[in-house]
Structures are given as structure tokens and as C-alpha cells.
């Protein structure tokens, strides 16, 4: 499953109709959450049946396409199912009880309620909301895909306009010649990453560089009267600045991940729990600015696309252990050079990257067989140290898709 995005252009009344459709989708989602709270034993099919009841009771809900209402109910059920799973797994801390949402940024259609024009450069929405025909601008060519492969169409509102996303049920796989190279990556804050060969990439720090501009726009927002048109304009300018920084971070992670995966047959990296690391209030801003999660997501995506092996290993003591003799050399974060009694003297991150690669090789086992035989690599998954890659049941494509869906739902 891939997601193709286009910028949508229309008239102001069409944008207003999109906003109304988004509000209706939010209304249905919150109604489903309320119905689940008030009634015990509610299942997914009960929320689907509720959509028809809401359409009869509220005229504005009936104006939205029936499958768009079903998609909103499915979003509500996703939050409910996630809460149930966290309770069953006994996840420590908050379990993520479903909450009512105040702001919504998208409305999703399934296989009905929309129609592509013959030139596939515009799309028409056929429900009673009055969205009508929107022009599409983008670099992707929809002619490559059969219209039957398009399973969902989503309209997303952002600070710089409206976008149309197509969820296409296909995979893009490219076969690359084996390079015979393997690499381990240690991501950090001083440098974005340092590999096992001693090479490093600088940390761009997009948020730090744009923080002054963000503060300026935030002050402009705080000075405007609440509810006024000038405040809405100031909020929009602030949103565009945040959006620019986010796109810079994503593009940087995507570019580096693509280069690393293309150049190596095996890529090893740390299996970091970013949500736990950001609990450190001293480093939270820098960790979020680095974009480690985005980098890992693109590594796994390109690994699946190009048939490369990506392995996530346990990060414990990778910076403390010596990559030459294995002895532990304790050091604080301020100590940037690894010096061992065996005579090994390396940069701290370089030493950690070698340890990460060694752990990946001990986990994978016969790596040379996969490197020399592309057909043996298959659809391998990232795994923790100590687990057998051949016994894993998931795929990188599914993992990347789940991460993508979480990013959209935010």
C-alpha cells in the first residue's frame, strides 16, 4: 500500500465545503466514541450501524457520503482497539483511553463518493457537501495505476492549503545489484549519525535554526484578539512556519535513508524508544528536532523497496563496551572519545556504530549468503538482537504502513 499526494486547487466555496465535510467527519467520530462510552460491549459493527442512525437524525451528516461516514467510524474504532490492546498487554502508564477531538484535519472516502476525471489531473466529489471538482497538481502520474487499486481518497487540510491523498493497493519494488557492503549506524545529537566506517553526517537542527522565527510568529498570535480575523491569519502564518520545519526534517531523513540503503546490503541501527527518551526535559527538544523516528521509518521503507536487510538491535551498552576487546569502559555523555586498555582509541560514536554492526551480524548469522544471493533476502523484517529473522511473521511493508497511518491520524 502506497500513498500518493497531490495539491488541490479550487474556489473558496469549495474550500468551505471541504471544511464542512471535515467537521461532519469529526462529529461522527466523537458520536461513536460517546456511544461506546455509554454502552457496554459495543463492537465495530455497532459503530457502523450508528452511522446510518446519525444520517437520519442529522441532515448535515446525511450530506456526507455513506462510506466517508463509515471511515470516520473506523477511525473511532481504531482508537478503541488500541486502548483494548494496551490494557491486554498491560502497558505501563496511561493506556490511551479514547478522547473526544476538538480539531480535525481530514476527511476520508472509500471507493465511492469521488470520481477521477479522464485526464486524471482533477477529481470530483459527488456527495451533497458541494465540494465539486478540484484540480490536482503533483509529480506522480496516476495513469500508472488501475483505478480499482485506489482503495481510499483522503482530503487533508494543512496550513498552506488542501491536499488529496490516494491510497493505492500496490507495492513499488526495485531490484538493485548487491554491493557487498554492510554498515552500522549510531544516531546521536552531536552528529545525526556516525557509521561503522567512521563517517558522520552533521545534525541540521532545523527547529533550532527556525526557533527565532517561530517565537516571532507566536508573539504575533498572542497579541491578536481571540476570535478575530487577524488572529486566524497570524495562526496560519505560525502553522506555515512549523510546516516548513517539519518538511525539512522529513526530506532530510528520507534523503539520507535512501542513500544509506542503496549503498549497503545490510544496515544495522539502534532500536530506540524515542517516546521514553524525550521524557528527559533537558534533551527532549534536541531529540525531537533530530527526527530519529522519521529516519528509522524511511530506512525500513527503503529496505523493503530495494530488497535490503535492515536490522534493529538492542542499544544497551553500545557506547560503553569496547568494539575491539568487549570490555566495558564507562563514560559520561560529555566524554566523546573511547579509550580502552587494549589500545583501542576511537570516537565514541564510531565505537558504538561498530558494536551495533557486530550485534546485527551475530543476530542475522549467515549474512554473506543473503548478500551474494538477492533471492535469499526476501521480505526480511527488522528485529531485536537474539531473535531469528527467518521466524518473523511481519513485513517491512506492513510496519512502514502502520507508522504512516499513525502519522496521518495525528
> Tens digits of per-residue pLDDT, 328-372?
888 888 888 888 888 888 888 898 899 999 888 887 754 443 443
Sign for the pseudo-dihedral over CA of 286, 289, 293, 295: negative
Instruction: Measure the CA–CA gap between 373 and 383, rounded to whole angstroms.
Output: 21
Rg (CA), the chain: 24
Residue 150 φ/ψ, nearest 5 degrees:
-80, 110
Higher pLDDT among residues 226 and 141, named by residue: 226
Count CB atoms within 10 A of the CB of residue 223: 10
Q: Which cell numbers in the block locate residue 20?
A: 464542512
Q: Give me the percent of the chain exceeding a pLDDT of 70.
A: 89
Alpha-carbon distance values, 58 to 54, 64, 101, 393 (Å) = 6, 11, 19, 45
Q: Which residues face 267 on adjacent strands?
A: 183, 310
Residue by residue, what is the 3-state secondary structure of 64-114? CCHHHHHHHHHHHHHHHHHHHHHHHHCCCCCCCCCCCCCCCCEEEECCCCE
What is the helix (H) or strand (E) element at residue 166, kind and residue range? strand 161-168
Kindly tell me if the per-residue pLDDT of 267 is higher than 80: yes
Q: How confident is the model at residue 37 (pLDDT cuts 50, 70, 90)?
A: very high
pLDDT single digits (tens) 125-160: 999 999 999 999 988 878 778 888 899 999 999 999
Instruction: Measure the CA–CA gap between 113 and 110, rounded to whole angstroms.
Output: 8
pLDDT for the residue 178: 87
SS percent in the chain: helix, strand, coil, step 5: 50, 20, 35
Question: 3-class SS at 161?
Answer: strand
Length of the chain (residues): 410
Question: 3-class SS at 17?
Answer: helix
Mean pLDDT value across residues 153-171: 92
Identify the DSSP state of 272.
Answer: -
Kindly tell me if the per-residue pLDDT of 99 is higher than 60: yes
Q: What is the mean pLDDT of the chain?
A: 85
Identify the DSSP state of 123.
Answer: E
pLDDT single digits (tens) 247-259: 999 999 999 999 9
Instruction: Measure the CA–CA gap between 390 and 381, rounded to whole angstroms.
Output: 9
Kindly tell me if the per-residue pLDDT of 35 is higher than 90: yes
Instruction: Measure the CA–CA gap between 377 and 369, rounded to whole angstroms.
Output: 9
pLDDT for the residue 376: 36
Contact (CB, 8 A) for 266 and 371: yes
CA 268 to chain centre: 20
pLDDT for the residue 365: 57
Amino acid at each position: 500500500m502506497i500513498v500518493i499526494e497531490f495539491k488541490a486547487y479550487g474556489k473558496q466555496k469549495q474550500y468551505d465545503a471541504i471544511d464542512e465535510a471535515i467537521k461532519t467527519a469529526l462529529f461522527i467520530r466523537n458520536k461513536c466514541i460517546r456511544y461506546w462510552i455509554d454502552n457496554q460491549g459495543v463492537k465495530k459493527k455497532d459503530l457502523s450501524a450508528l452511522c446510518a442512525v446519525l444520517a437520519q437524525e442529522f441532515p448535515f451528516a446525511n450530506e456526507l457520503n455513506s462510506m466517508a461516514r463509515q471511515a470516520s467510524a473506523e477511525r473511532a474504532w481504531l482508537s478503541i482497539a488500541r486502548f483494548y490492546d494496551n490494557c491486554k498487554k498491560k502497558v505501563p502508564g496511561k493506556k490511551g483511553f479514547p478522547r473526544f477531538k476538538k480539531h480535525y484535519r481530514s476527511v476520508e472516502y472509500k471507493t465511492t463518493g469521488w470520481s477521477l476525471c479522464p485526464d486524471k489531473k482533477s477529481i470530483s466529489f459527488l456527495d451533497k457537501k458541494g465540494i465539486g471538482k478540484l484540480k490536482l497538481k503533483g509529480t506522480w502520474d496516476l495513469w500508472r495505476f488501475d483505478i480499482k487499486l485506489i482503495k481510499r481518497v483522503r482530503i487533508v487540510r494543512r496550513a498552506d492549503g488542501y491536499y488529496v491523498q490516494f491510497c493505492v493497493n500496490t507495492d513499488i519494488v526495485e531490484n538493485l545489484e548487491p554491493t557487498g557492503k554492510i554498515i552500522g549506524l549510531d544516531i546521536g545529537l552531536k552528529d545525526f549519525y556516525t557509521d561503522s566506517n567512521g563517517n558522520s553526517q552533521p545534525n541540521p537542527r532545523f527547529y533550532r535554526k527556525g526557533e527565532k522565527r517561530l517565537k516571532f510568529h507566536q508573539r504575533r498570535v498572542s497579541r491578536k484578539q481571540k476570535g478575530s480575523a487577524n488572529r486566524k491569519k497570524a495562526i496560519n502564518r505560525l502553522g506555515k512556519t512549523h510546516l516548513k520545519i517539519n518538511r525539512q526534517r522529513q526530506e532530510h531523513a528520507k534523503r539520507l535513508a535512501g542513500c544509506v540503503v542503496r549503498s549497503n546490503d545490510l544496515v544495522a541501527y539502534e532500536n530506540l524508544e524515542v517516546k521514553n527518551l524525550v521524557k528527559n526535559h533537558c534533551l527532549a527538544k534536541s531529540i525531537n528536532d533530530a527526527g530519529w523516528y522519521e529516519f528509522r521509518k524511511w530506512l525500513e521503507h527503503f529496505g523493503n523497496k530495494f530488497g535490503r536487510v535492515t536490522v534493529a538491535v538492542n542499544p544497551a551498552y553500545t557506547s560503553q563496551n569496547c568494539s575491539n576487546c568487549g570490555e566495558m569502559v564507562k563514560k559520561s555523555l560529555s566524554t566523546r572519545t573511547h579509550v580502552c586498555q587494549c589500545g583501542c582509541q576511537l570516537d565514541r560514536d564510531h565505537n558504538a556504530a561498530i558494536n551495533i554492526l557486530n550485534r546485527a551480524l551475530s543476530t542475522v548469522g549467515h549474512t554473506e549468503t543473503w548478500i551474494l544471493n538477492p533471492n535469499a533476502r526476501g521480505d526480511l523484517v527488522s528485529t531485536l538482537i537474539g531473535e531469528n529473522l527467518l521466524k518473523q511473521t511481519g513485513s517491512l511493508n506492513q510496519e512502514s504502513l502502520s507508522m504512516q497511518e499513525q502519522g496521518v491520524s495525528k
